[in-house]
Amino acid sequence: MRIITDLMKKARAATVKPVPAARPKRLKWILLESLLLGGEKILLVFEKCDLREARAVYPDVTIYFPPEIEALIPFKGDEDLLRTVNTIKKRFKGWVVPDKCTKGAES
């Protein structure tokens, strides 16, 4: 009986360290329905490491990365241009390169 009593005392005196909760999974992509493109779906992929998986899951959907969307924001009033960009991306699987990445390339 003494052993049980000693164990109970030790258990009460022990400091309990909480186990950290599991980290939530990160967001890989968002499937969007574009009103500008007549309801066509586009896929916003957040990291390049998820591109292969995204293409496998959505093989026929045009993929954009956040910097591409940011580069197109100044042209939001030119719907024809945005539709053309999307058509080119879709047909040739290209990327929109933000202007800041191309500066200096002309020289």
Phi and psi of 85, rounded to 5°? -60, -45
pLDDT exceeds 80 at position 98 = no
Rg, C-alpha atoms of the chain: 26
State the pLDDT at residue 48. Answer: 92
State the pLDDT at residue 97. Answer: 81
CA angle 49–86–107, rounded 5-degree value: 75
Structure token digits, residue 87: 């058509």
Residue given tokens 């899951």 in the structure block? 57
CA angle 37–71–82, rounded 5-degree value: 25
Question: Percent of the chain, pLDDT > 70?
Answer: 70
Q: Which amino acid is at 101?
A: C
Question: β-pairing, 40-45 with 29-34?
Answer: antiparallel
What global pTM score does this model have? Answer: 0.67
